[in-house]
């Protein structure tokens, strides 16, 4: 079951019946029938899943330990620096009792976080150009030093080989249909009961889905505290603007198109120090003083009327799941 079946030569096609009705909150994350071929323009500084392999088929009688893995984002480069801000990356580990082999499974961006969060503005293309895909990666081994040094490596449950194999089939489905990375959670206020307009779709959400699938298959999780990072934007009720064609196409809204390009312009990569500070002032002016943010979600653009505190990074507890009889996704 290879997980690097990522570059099918088709564009994404929305699965029938999954188009979300307007003003249903949160807007459901849209799944697709195919993963689009990546454009050569999109280049990653670090190769996606360089040692990735197929998920093995486990023997039914195997007993497999499941580990929660968490470490600061870019820990391999900056150590625990981002850990102080509670910006964490999540993964899941497995250990086969029959073979003694360890495995790691995680979900992350193909072209790094910046490209998934903000587009490129190309002079020859009117519409913002997005280098955005996320996918699962499975490989043999668990880098104990990476996860233990500044993070977490803890046993959360044990499962049978049969349950592992069923989970693997679900991972294939999840990986082939959930193809776009969504950085932001958008909600009405910091209150825990406030309306969520959009939910993020990133590494921690993949781990939570995996845990839930295992619980649905019968896994019983230990009672330990588990926290996850979310980056939240605070906004009044979002306004739907349209898709790339309706905004940037021949019959599009040129005023709106210009406004969206102007908004994204300060977020460009590879800036000089002077450009960074100039653009930071533009971002503050747009988001905080003028209460404006343009969100690209499910291949559609939305206007967010921003409000205080505008942005917050939280490290919030999400309990390990309790199983149900219903199977998720397969």
Q: Is residue 288 part of a domain?
A: yes
Catalytic annotation, pick one of 42, 116, 203, 291: 203
Residue 31's pLDDT is 95
140 C-beta neighbours (distance < 10 Å), count? 12
Has residue 25 got a pLDDT over 50?
yes
Q: Is there a domain that residue 327 lies in?
A: no
Question: Percent of the chain having pLDDT more than 90?
Answer: 75
Only one residue has tokens 């088929």, namely 57
Beta-bridge mates of residue 27: 198
Asked if residue 29 belongs to a domain, the reply is: no
Say what the pLDDT of residue 324 is: 61
Considering the entire predicted model, what is its pTM? 0.88
Q: DSSP state, 229?
A: E
Residues whose CB is less than 8 angstroms from the CB of residue 140 and which lie 6 or more positions away in sequence, other chains included: 51, 53, 101, 102, 103
pLDDT for 14 equals 40
**Does residue 326 fall inside a structural domain?**
no
Residue range 167-212, pLDDT digits in tens: 999 999 999 999 999 999 999 999 989 999 999 999 999 999 999 9
The Cα–Cα gap between 66 and 154 comes to 8
User: Within a domain: residue 36?
Assistant: no
**214-273 confidence digits (pLDDT tens):** 999 999 999 999 999 999 999 999 999 999 999 999 999 999 999 999 999 999 877 888
- Which of these ranges, 10-14, 112-116, 236-240, 276-280, has the smallest mean pLDDT? 10-14
Residue 5 confidence (pLDDT) above 90: no
In Å, what is the CA distance from 290 to each residue of 189, 235, 283? Answer: 18, 12, 10
Coil, strand or helix at 161:
helix
pLDDT tens per residue, range 52-111: 999 999 999 999 999 999 999 877 776 777 777 788 999 999 999 999 999 999 999 999
Q: Is residue 87 part of a domain?
A: yes
Which residue range(s) make up the domain with 95?
63-317
Distance CA 150, CA 71 (A): 6
pLDDT at 95: 98
| φ, ψ at 227 (rounded to 5°) | -115, 150
Q: Which of these is catalytic: 84, 89, 120, 137?
A: 89
**Does a structural domain hold residue 248?**
yes
How many domains is the chain partitioned into structurally? Answer: 1
Please indicate whether residue 203 is annotated as part of the active site: yes
Q: Tell me the C-alpha distance between 77 and 73, whole Å.
A: 9
The per-residue pLDDT for 273 is: 84
**CA-wise closest residue to 113 among 235, 267, 260:** 267
Residue 250 lies in a domain: yes
């Amino acid at each position: 079951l290879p997980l690097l079946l990522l570059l099918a030569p088709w564009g994404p096609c929305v699965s029938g019946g999954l188009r979300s009705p307007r003003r249903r909150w949160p807007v459901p994350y849209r799944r697709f029938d195919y993963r689009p071929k990546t454009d050569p323009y999109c280049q990653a500084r670090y190769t996606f899943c360089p040692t990735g392999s197929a998920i093995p088929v486990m023997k039914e009688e195997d007993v497999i330990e499941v580990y929660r893995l968490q470490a600061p984002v870019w820990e391999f480069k900056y150590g625990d620096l981002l850990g102080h801000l509670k910006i964490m990356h999540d993964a899941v580990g497995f250990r086969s009792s029959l073979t003694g082999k360890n495995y790691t499974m995680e979900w992350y961006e193909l072209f790094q976080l910046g490209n998934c969060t903000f587009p490129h503005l190309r002079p020859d293309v009117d519409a913002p150009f997005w280098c955005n895909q996320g996918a699962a990666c499975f490989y043999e081994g668990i880098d104990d030093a990476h996860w233990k040094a500044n993070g977490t490596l803890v046993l959360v449950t044990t499962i049978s080989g049969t349950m592992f194999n069923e989970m693997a089939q679900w991972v294939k489905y999840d990986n082939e249909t959930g193809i776009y990375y969504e950085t932001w959670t958008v909600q009405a206020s910091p209150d825990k009961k406030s309306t969520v307009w959009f939910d993020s779709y990133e590494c921690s959400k993949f781990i939570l889905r995996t845990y839930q699938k295992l619980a649905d298959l019968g896994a019983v999780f230990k009672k330990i505290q588990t926290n996850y990072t979310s980056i939240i934007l605070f906004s009044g009720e979002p306004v739907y603007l349209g898709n790339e064609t309706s905004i940037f196409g021949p019959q599009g809204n040129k005023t709106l198109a210009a406004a969206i390009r102007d908004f994204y312009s300060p977020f460009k990569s590879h800036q000089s120090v002077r450009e960074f500070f100039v653009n930071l002032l533009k971002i503050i002016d747009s988001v905080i003083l003028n209460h404006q943010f343009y969100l690209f979600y499910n291949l559609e653009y939305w206007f967010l009327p921003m409000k205080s505190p505008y942005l917050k990074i939280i490290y919030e507890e999400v309990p390990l799941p309790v199983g149900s009889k219903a199977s998720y996704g397969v």
